[in-house]
Each structure stands twice: as C-alpha cells, then as structure tokens.
Amino acid sequence: MDRNTTKSQPGKVALVGGGPGDPELITIKADRMLRRADVVLYDHLADERLLEVCREDARLIDVGKIPGEKRTSQSVINGLLAKEAAQGFFVVRLKGGDPFVFGRGGEEAIYLRERGIEVEIVPGISSSISAPAAAGIPVTHRGVTTHFSVITGMSGTESKEELARRWTELARAGGTLVFLMGVGRLELIVESLRKAGVDGATPAAMIRRGTTEDQQTIQATVDTIVDAVRAAELRPPATLIVGDVVALRGAIMECVDPPQRSRRTQRV
C-alpha cells in the first residue's frame, strides 16, 4: 500500500475485539477484518500474534496504553482513526477483549460518526468472563450466585473516592465481583469491600494474563489478597474476582486438561 496514496472510495473503521489474550480466542470475523485491513491501530493488550495474518503492505501502528508508562492519548488515537479513514483506507482498531467493555470503543464510534465515517463493531471475548473461566472460576454457579458485576479499578472521569463509593455499593448488592484494571488500587478495593460488610474470609483470586501460557493465578481471601499479590510482585494486566465461586476452582480444575491445569497457581 502506498502511504501517500489517497483512495477514491470512502474509508471505514472497524472497532475489533481481539479477545482476552489467547490468539485462538479471536473470532472468525475479527480475523477476517485483520486480513482485509489497510491500517491497524492496536493496543498492548492485543496479542501481537494476531497481526501475523495482516497483509504485508498493511501499516501496523502501536497505540498501546500501559498503566504508569508512556501512552498514546485517546485524542491522538481518535485523530489517527479519522485521518486514515478520511484517506479512503479500511482501518481496524484492534483492542484487547471487547471494544465496549472498558475499551473506549463507544467514544471512538461516536467521534467517527460525528465526522461522517462509517463504523463497524466486531465484539470480542472479554477478560471479565474468560480470565476467571480459564482459571477454573465460573462467575455464576447454580446454588452459589445468580449474578455478577464487572467493575473498573480505574476511571478517567471519576476520582478514586467516587470509585470507592461505587465499589462499596456494588459489593452490598452481592454476587460475584469482577474488577478489571484493579491491581494499582487493590488496597482501596479491599477497604471498600470491608466497608460494605464483605466477610474477610470471602474467597478472592487475582488472575494475571488470563487465557495465555503465562497465566498466573493467586487464590486467597479478601483478608489476604493484598499481601499475596504484593509478595508475588504481580503486575497488570490482571483480573480480580471476589465471591464464593472462587472456592469452586479446585474441583473444576481437576476436570480440565493437564496443560491448562499446570498454569501457575499460588494459594494463600
């Protein structure tokens, strides 16, 4: 593809969910979009092996956002998407998980449509359900819980105090609690759970890089999870699960294939 060539036909942007980490968990449609793309803007959470199917002449642009490190601002990403599509290119915005689960895909879709650019949404498997599943933890289970909440540990619009109040409210609603992007605020999350009256003995687990070969699971309780995560020097990306379903993990992992069972586990 000639980078200096503007196509005569209008461009388009596909907001594509790349799945939770394991490249085999990408959808057929997402794979097809990557094979067609002129330009791909991808996040650090999207496994780079997914890019191997792209055309040799496709432009691959890393706009990864790593907490606490150098990042590409959302405004710059929005501008890049619009600029490339305006030149007639088919642009794939590849995100980890699902583009609409804390992926800011909604913001990008609205920004592009306001500028007359066609958008297609390609859902992906979210780590909020797949990371627990890969670790042998069902977010719902008959006789244990009938509902679950997916909660962000970070927000660009709410202060940590506002988030903490929301965590407390959700904890009081019961069910399984799944926190994404919560490693950096784990202590505050635990404090909020205690304020909500959550028993310190309630099972909890932190899963790093769920569904991948590097998956690491720390199984603990609300009272011990902070020290366990600190001792393991666990870094993002990771998913926190709090609830009685975590206690089912032992029985469920006995049923799975040995390679999946052998992924690193630490109990506290």
Whole-angstrom distance, CA of residue 178 vs CA of residue 138: 11
**Residue 248 in contact with residue 141, Cβ under 8 Å?**
yes
Q: Which residues are catalytic?
A: 43, 65, 181
Letter for the amino acid at 92? Answer: V
C-alpha–C-alpha distance, residues 161 and 182, integer Å: 14
Q: Give the number of other Cβ atoms within 10 Å of residue 138's Cβ.
A: 18
Give the closest residue to 58 by CA, choosing from 37, 76, 74, 83: 37
Nearest alpha carbon to residue 122 among 93, 150, 143: 93
Q: With CA atoms as reference, report the closest residue to 43 among 107, 92, 111, 110.
A: 92
Phi-psi region of 186 (alpha: psi -120 to 50; beta: other; left: phi over 0): alpha
**Using CA atoms, how far apart are residues 132 and 114, in angstroms rounded to an integer?**
37
Q: How many residues does the chain have?
A: 268
Between helix 105-114 and helix 74-86 the angle, nearest 10°, is: 40
Within a 13 Å sphere around the CA of 235, how many CA atoms are in the beta-carbon half? 5
